[in-house]
Amino acid sequence: MKYARVMVMSMAASLAAGAADAGKWTLAWSEEFNGEGLVDGAVWNYERGFIRNREAQYYTAGRAQNVAMRGGNLVITARKEDFSENGQDAKYTSGSINTKGKKAFHYGRIEVRAKLPVGQGNWPAIWMMGVEGGWPRGGEIDIMEHVWASKNTVHATVHWSDKAKAAANNNNGHTSKGSKIEDQKPYEDFHVYAVEWDADKMAFFMDDAPYFTFTISDAGEGADNPFRKPHYLLLNLAIGGSWGGAIDDAIFPCEYLIDYVRHYVPAGGGIIAPGAKVEKLADGFKFTEGPIADKDGNVYFTDQPNDKILIWTVDGKLSALGSFGRANGMYFDRDGRLLTCSDMDNELWSVGMDGTKTVLVADYNGKKLNGPNDVWVNPKDGSVYFTDPFYKRPYWTRDPAMQQAGEYVFLLKSDRKTLLPVDTEMKQPNGIIGTPDGKTLYVADIGGNKTYAYDIQPDGLLSNRRLFCAMGSDGMTIDTEGNVYLTGKGVTVFNAKGEQIEHIPIEAGWTANVCFGGKDRKTLFITASQYLYALRMRVPGAM
């Protein structure tokens, strides 16, 4: 590896050194490692085996001899021992844990307070990898690396794939930039290692000393830049390998201590409420869909296979509205009636709170619709937009062949009579949502794995079709800051520029839809497989 110039600084290590400035940052999440025994499986995964860089250690999983909480710290211990597992023999064992698929980080300050191990051959690290894209295309952020060959030096590096370099050399285009900082003996006490990361730059710190700044645009512009996307965290102690070098067997057992991991967002920033976690509210359904909140914040959602519309009230009680044609996506209109994409009969219905129903759309040009899937009502004029993909259902009594010429996005004008296709070019339109000012519409083409944005014209027609992001979605919602929430594998959030800013993992296999509800509209309700989940947010949903 090549690194930029060395910055030599004398630093006094203390418990408070390097902690986030309370006036600048708000704590959003932390792992304090205050328990005893194995780490929390809801947050951490174990790596297992010989993983990378020709390292000598075998990473074990769920083995307290290598990874355990003890005395208020996470203790990763490397050992010299004969160990065999899965047909592989090792002379050294150690531990590596990560948050892949369970906790992702995107912007803010990520800091880890740790005490480095002592001895030739150890290679402790605090680093992050891109949630998607593989290496190096997905990006790598090394917050701290330390090897005994340069025992007074701590390194920070970023890695990515340069497209031009990859094309010219017919390889993965691996590119890196980094720097290092020197301390007399960084392994003798705890230090805080941190990165402060936003859309423009990353700044790396050891305690209060900044020593490397990386400009995000150096890794490219647009959607391919991995450092504008979420990363997951890794904590590991490697032995030997391509950088750890020769191993002194006298150092074992060798301990790497981590006091805490903390993620801060700018004061007043970040979309998830500080300390909030996804909560399972209810289960036992067959497949939940279509959540939408009424004016009081009560959330209506469907158990589609059981043909039920259910209500989660603001005081946390579950009740039922009734059965309405195997409803899928839903939305309240300006009169407080619930519009339902009633899939049993391939129609769009209007449902009153007394259970009365009115069929708004039964066909187009005298032919059955494919199956209305998701719906949004423009709050400015009451016009209705809905998607009509084709999903062949075993419960249909109609001709199962697709009756329409394609899979369209429709506009039902405010007169509730005029029905027009407004996009006929999608493979399989699904999720749909608009901005509260009635000026912009977002539609997900789940078949094409893309989401598009449109300008809504005064007559309701759409113009300026443009790619919003390279991701499809089942259901969608939007918050008051213009962030758009897509679903599928968890909930993925994009800002108004189409840049991914957050990913919320959900345990269920498929996340179908989302909405904001509760009295203050600051709770994100998530329908996923047989469950209903909730997550407190800092930013409220748009109405």
pLDDT for the residue numbered 22 = 74
Q: What are phi and psi of 150, to 5 degrees?
A: -130, 65
Amino acid identity of residue 411, one-letter, is L
Q: How many CA atoms lie within 13 A of 62 on its CB side?
A: 1
389 neighbors 333 (Cβ within 8 angstroms): no
Q: How far apart are CA 325 and CA 120, in angstroms?
A: 69
CB count, 10 Å around CB of 345?
18
Of 266, 278, 275, 213, the residue nearest 107 (C-alpha): 266
Cβ-count burial of 272 within 10 angstroms (0-12 exposed, 13-18 middle, 19+ buried)?
Answer: buried
* Low-confidence residues in the chain, pLDDT < 50: 1-16
Q: How far apart are CA 382 and CA 410, in angstroms?
A: 14
3-class SS of residue 106: coil
pLDDT digits (tens, 9 = 90+) for 242-273: 999 999 999 999 999 999 999 998 876 678 88
pLDDT for the residue numbered 222 = 67
3-class SS of residue 2: coil
3-class SS of residue 242: helix
Tokens standing for residue 351: 């449902």
pTM strictly above 0.95: no
Q: How far apart are CA 380 and CA 299, in angstroms?
A: 22
What H or E segment, with its residue span, contains residue 243? helix 241-244
Amino acid identity of residue 3, one-letter, is Y
CA 202 from chain centre, in angstroms, equals 20
Q: What are phi and psi of 515, to 5 degrees?
A: -160, 165
392-421 core/surface letters (b: 16 or more CB in 10 A; e: else)? eeeeeeeeeebbbeebbbbbbbbeeeebee
Going by their DSSP bridges, the two strands 531-536 and 140-145 should be labelled as unpaired
Q: How far apart are CA 244 and CA 124, in angstroms?
A: 9
pLDDT for the residue numbered 359 = 96
pLDDT digits (tens, 9 = 90+) for 305-335: 999 999 999 999 999 999 999 999 999 999 9
21-57 core/surface letters (b: 16 or more CB in 10 A; e: else)? eeeebbbbbebebeeeebbeeebbbbbbeeeeeebbb
The residues that bridge with 421 in the sheet, in sequence order, are: 410
The DSSP call for residue 129 is: E
Q: How many CA atoms lie within 13 A of 251 on its CB side?
A: 20
pLDDT for the residue numbered 495 = 87
Q: How far apart are CA 220 and CA 264, in angstroms?
A: 26
Tokens standing for residue 485: 């929430």
pLDDT for the residue numbered 493 = 92
3-class SS of residue 225: coil
3-class SS of residue 222: helix
Q: How far apart are CA 29 and CA 16, in angstroms?
A: 19
Q: Annotated active-site positions, please?
A: 140, 145
